[in-house]
Structure 1
Amino acid sequence: MKAMILAAGRGERLRPLTDLLPKPLVTVAGKPLIEYHIERLAALGIREIVINCAWLAEKLMAHLGDGSRFGVTLYYSQEASALETGGGIKQALPLLGDAPFLVVNGDIFIDKLPALPTQLAAGCLAHLWLVDNPQHNPNGDFALINNQLCSDGESKLTFAGIGLYDPALFANCTEQRFPLGPLLRNAMQLKQISGEQFTGFWCDVGTIERLTTAEAFALTQQ
């Protein structure tokens, strides 16, 4: 299985840290955030990883190189300007191949990756992991009912930014730049998205305050 790390965001809310540093290289307990993801993917046996990049892409690629020091091969999908989540994945499809692939948001901090299903359930085009709603997203994103995701419903949870996707999910996308959310919601109406809850430590490192939270947890694990 191949994996993709979404790393093209500008990181506006992490300024001034991201003025001269690509967001994925912001450090958590002394290590760039993206390196945690690469190491954990490698530990799962994933050896080919695609990274999309835009803001200060040259710095990111120069730092990570070809991935050999992590025991993986890294491929880069450069974007002249960020294509949003859906557009970024679509552009990278030629690098990801025809089989289902794992995508991890580059700006989350987790203590582990979830156990991956051996394949997507019959009729499903994606499998997403959800977490309890954090303070910054109290209303959640999707409802999880009998392992199926629904865009409507009570007791919504928050999308963790971790998902397994079939390339066919993007087959009818004609735009170059588009968000992933509406595409997922359309597929949910057809019961094509399965899911489960992620129970490990999870933090969306979108602000300086949440970066501090992630770092405090990481230091307890050293």
Structure 2
Amino acid sequence: MFSLFFVIFLFFQDVIQRSEIVEEIIKLYKSGLSREVILQYIDGYQKEYKLSADDLIYLKENNIPDEILREIILHQNILGQKNLSEKFPKEFQNLILKGKFLKKDRLGNILVKEESLEWHDSKDPSKNFSFKISAIKTIWLECKPRAVENFCYEINFSTFDGSKYKFSDFNWENGENKITTEIYNFFKENFKNIIYGIEMESN
């Protein structure tokens, strides 16, 4: 009984994870539409997708011609590049860079590019710095427990070489955390290889 349930679970899990365009192409092909029409449909497809090896095997098992397979893969890459160019660079303004040791806090902006994070100091360009996105090991929010909703006031970056950077909204001491939260969500959505977390202050 358990084995049967497990097989059913895996089946539905596989169906849920299937790329939407895969099912649509199979449906169009089996309806008898010409290759030219299907290729035009793929060309106009605007939803971003990422084909897995299972998707490609599934398409092949359903007799989808190689010409159409190549077009689906090519269009996937084109869409991915287009969406990246729309997302980056992304700027987050009016932030506080928390000072280390005896250094004072700094006011400035963060500029996130596809491959790097840049800090632009609002007063002293010599204080600007940057590091590679690939160098980031962990990102986490520092939060204070609240009755209704936790107050996450600080975002932390830890790199593989041991460096740490802390940022907060300019007016975080008065309860503002909008930009801090936006940065965390932006990274979590666009950079999947980084470890994310939330750290709660003890009462």
- Please confirm whether the aligned pair reaches a TM-score higher than 0.5, indicating the same fold: no
Scaled by the length of structure 1, the TM-score of the pair is 0.26
TM-score (norm 2): 0.28
Greater relative CO (CA pairs within 8 A, separation 6+): 1
